[in-house]
Structure 1
Amino acid sequence: MTSSVKAIVFDTFGTVVDWRGSIIRDLTAWGAAEGLQIDWTGLVDRWRDHYNPQKARVRSGELPWTNLDELHFDALKAVFAEMGLAELDHDRMMHVNKVWHRLDGWPDTSRGLHRLKSKFIIGPLSNANVAILVNMAKHADLPWDNVFSCELFQHYKPDPETYLGVCKLLYLEPGAVMMCAAHNYDLAAARSLGLKTAFIARPTEYGEGQTTDLTAEQRWDYVADDLEDLARQLGC
């Protein structure tokens, strides 16, 4: 099977980067320096709670295409209101919003991607817009060959246009592209369209007590402990 796979695309938030831990660390340190008394952990969890509902509004057509930076900023303002916080000045609100551009990879991420890149075309297939993905790659040493942002397709996962869009851009049949994700729903959508699949568990993505995506829920083509283990399984 490995010989038929030419490209691997990766879910990014959770699979490649530790979004929750990164944001809490970044904003806690910054907030302390700014003298801000804010429950950053609570803010991050509330902020992420808006993620799927916002995407659903775009996917249903309730909202026109809106990229993730803009959705995040609208959600951030809503969370400040929910928590009874006065909004910060524009520059500081934008600094908070752009924390998604500064996310750290998991400990295995950069090494694993460099190994996989030696044999495959690699890139993120992410709901993040191009600016987030490019800046994040610079920050976290993510050696992408290309950035397959859903912004290019103006559809959010799991819309078929996203997975098939990658295949079209690379001039590859779906069976020559593998989706790697820590989320079973993402892999199920990719498999339904003919892509190969690789599952990596990230049991602390949502912090301690996570109850979802702890194990592979189907017989995916590959199940790995982390990206370095996936590279080993694929002969990299």
Structure 2
Amino acid sequence: MQDPGARNDHPAFDIHALVFDVFGTLVDWRTSVAREVTRLLGPGVDALAFADAWRAEYQPSMEAVRSGALPFSKLDVLHRLNLDRVLDRLGLGSSVDETTRVELNLAWHRLDAWPDVAEGLARLRTRYRVAPCSNGNVALMVDLARRNGLVWDAILGAEFARDYKPKPVVYLSAADAFACAPGAVMMVAAHSSDLAAAARAGLRTAFVGRPDEHGPGCGEAAASVPVDVSVGSLMELAEVLGCGETAGGA
């Protein structure tokens, strides 16, 4: 689904590294969190609604850090604060003990990747250095990688930059970690706002459609901002960027 409006005059763009948004772009946070909610809180809780309510606290909690109202805190810490708020708001605060809360907060470490991700990332890595550029903390990113068989050359993003996207330092620190100028790095994401911020910081951009991220037909199927590449999967991105098959590929 290469977008005819995307700026892809040369397939390699003279880039040397790819950095990736993770939640929604690489992993299906919504149904994965809902699965864990059902496992730990039981079938009487609307698990998808719970996942949506928890995710809705994501940006406001990070904004407290971005604005300076809260010192930098890892996403695991913010997720736990948000979890407690949601439990209280839904009237579940008194019925969920500390052990269950700790285990439920680890739901974000057990998210499942979209089907194209492991193979697509492996193909992209045959030509480019790759790393997450996520708001997730390092331990969270490591656990997701191990769960889903993802191989990174580094783990970058918010904890490395000590701030949260879309602050420019998050994108620029990722480029600097690879000793690259911003224009030699491509940000890959399923969210137009993330890509717009990366482009303002000087990075190249690739949009990956995830139309079901927030439920069937409730994600971004097409970018709403100018991007360099627009694709429907990481496998398609590998084709556009001229990446060969992996050693075990067909």
TM-score range, shorter chain: over 0.9
- Please say if residues 157 and 174 of structure 2, whose CA atoms lie closer than 8 Å, have aligned partners that are also in contact: no
Partner in structure 2 of residue 137 of structure 1: 145
User: Within the alignment, does 1:228 sit opposite 2:238 as a pair?
Assistant: no
Q: Distance in 2 between matches of 1:121 and 1:164?
A: 16
Counterpart code for 2:177: L
* CA displacement at 1:183 relative to structure 2: 0.4
Provide the aligned length of Structure 1 versus Structure 2.
Answer: 232
User: Within the alignment, does 1:15 sit opposite 2:25 as a pair?
Assistant: yes
Report the identity percentage.
42
Counterpart code for 1:25: R
Of the candidates 164, 167, 191, which is equivalent to residue 159 of structure 1?
Answer: 167
Q: Distance in 1 between matches of 2:79 and 2:226?
A: 34
Shift >3 Å, 4+ stretches: 29-32
Partner in structure 2 of residue 173 of structure 1: 181
* CA displacement at 1:30 relative to structure 2: 4.4
Partner in structure 1 of residue 6 of structure 2: none
Of the candidates 30, 49, 74, which is equivalent to residue 42 of structure 1?
Answer: 49
SS at match of 1:206: coil
Partner in structure 2 of residue 69 of structure 1: 76
- Please say if residues 126 and 150 of structure 1, whose CA atoms lie closer than 8 Å, have aligned partners that are also in contact: yes
* CA displacement at 1:26 relative to structure 2: 3.1
* CA displacement at 1:21 relative to structure 2: 1.3
- Please say if residues 199 and 223 of structure 1, whose CA atoms lie closer than 8 Å, have aligned partners that are also in contact: yes
- Please say if residues 87 and 93 of structure 1, whose CA atoms lie closer than 8 Å, have aligned partners that are also in contact: no
1:5-40: CA deviation from partner (whole Å, max 9, x where unpaired) = 1100000000000010111123324444xxx63222
* CA displacement at 1:90 relative to structure 2: 1.8
1:91-133: CA deviation from partner (whole Å, max 9, x where unpaired) = 2111100110011100101010010011100110000000100
Counterpart code for 2:197: A
1:55-79: CA deviation from partner (whole Å, max 9, x where unpaired) = 1111001111111000000110110
Counterpart code for 2:46: D
* CA displacement at 1:192 relative to structure 2: 1.2
- Please say if residues 13 and 19 of structure 1, whose CA atoms lie closer than 8 Å, have aligned partners that are also in contact: yes
- Please say if residues 18 and 105 of structure 1, whose CA atoms lie closer than 8 Å, have aligned partners that are also in contact: yes
SS at match of 1:4: coil
Partner in structure 2 of residue 185 of structure 1: 193
Counterpart code for 2:237: L
* CA displacement at 1:3 relative to structure 2: 5.4
Q: Distance in 1 between matches of 2:37 and 2:72?
A: 29
TM-score (norm 1): 0.94
Q: Distance in 2 between matches of 1:147 and 1:175?
A: 20
* CA displacement at 1:170 relative to structure 2: 1.1
* CA displacement at 1:209 relative to structure 2: 4.8
Partner in structure 2 of residue 27 of structure 1: 37
The change in CA–CA distance for 1:63 and 1:17 in structure 2 (over 3 A counts) is same
SS at match of 2:27: coil
- Please say if residues 191 and 207 of structure 2, whose CA atoms lie closer than 8 Å, have aligned partners that are also in contact: yes
Partner in structure 2 of residue 79 of structure 1: 86
Q: Distance in 2 between matches of 1:182 and 1:6?
A: 21
Q: Distance in 2 between matches of 1:196 and 1:126?
A: 16
Q: Distance in 1 between matches of 2:226 and 2:58?
A: 28
* CA displacement at 1:214 relative to structure 2: 2.8
Counterpart code for 2:117: T
TM-score (norm 2): 0.89
